[in-house]
Structure 1
């Protein structure tokens, strides 16, 4: 499912399960790339569960981003709220389960805003794997995938502006 991108997209929400690995990483990457490209966009991230509410991103995710010169300043885990569906113009899920959770909660009027983030990637990868239970190499793979997808997203958004 790929939403129609229009010039009206100003606020983008990234969603994963706990909001400490994939979605805050996507948010941090998108913030950095938006500054570099001059796109006037707002970003946030959320989790489908509240287990890590208020926590900083996983230390391994922070380390991986720091090695690439990107920081997580101001990002704290939060749970998705019902108002997010109305507030954000585009809501991008890390994997199929997150997307299914979103579809189950999202009013029908806003379901056109939902997609997998990797829908904007160049390759055949459909989901961003959850690196939480693995080693640091998993966080590097997540970074590679998210950078690819966000580059693709921004290329499409720039074409609509």
Structure 2
């Protein structure tokens, strides 16, 4: 099984949205027995909490369920458990690079590198903005999640 971890700051907006979207794509492709997923935050601000209600609502409008997810903090051991650790922006990537054990560096990547058509590196944090920010983030995450799935299909 190939496992993917999505990482943002508090694990309540971007990374659980990526987890939910990716989970739905993997299920639609009938690959749940071959691809695993999770999400985490670089900081433990919201450990045990569900995703932000605005993220959950925006995702639900697109048929993505994520109310069952709970925030957790990323750990160095995640680099052993997950084949791909995806940072939602460059600041997360920097934190994860410092946390990453030697010999596991190839597992770390930027999420938006899997959606090159967007021409950007960072998924912006919608937390302090309006509803349109959550919709834009969902658009970006849908593109990135599709790219991740294409990448993983080549490895199955």
TM-score tier by shorter-chain length is over 0.9
Cα offset for 1:73?
4.0
Q: TM-score, normalised by structure 1?
A: 0.92
Residues 79-114 of structure 1: CA deviation (Å, up to 9, x unaligned): 011211111110000000000000011112111100
Among 4, 17, 23, the residue aligned to 2:9: 17
Whole-Å separation in 1 of the counterparts to 2:151 and 2:98: 27
Cα offset for 1:124?
0.3
2:152 is paired with a residue whose SS is helix
Whole-Å separation in 1 of the counterparts to 2:143 and 2:70: 24
Cα offset for 1:118?
0.3
Whole-Å separation in 2 of the counterparts to 1:144 and 1:79: 25
1:15 is paired with a residue whose SS is strand
The count of residues paired between Structure 1 and Structure 2 equals 153
1:151 is paired with a residue whose SS is helix
Pairing 1:103-122 to 2, within 5 Å after superposition = 103-121=97-115, 122=117
Among 150, 153, 157, the residue aligned to 2:148: 153
Among 100, 103, 126, the residue aligned to 2:94: 100
For the aligned residues, what is the CA RMSD? 1.1
Among 24, 29, 51, the residue aligned to 1:37: 29
What are the ranges of 5 or more consecutive residues in structure 2 without an aligned counterpart? none
What are the ranges of 5 or more consecutive residues in structure 1 without an aligned counterpart? 1-8
Whole-Å separation in 2 of the counterparts to 1:80 and 1:37: 27
1:65 corresponding residue in structure 2: 59
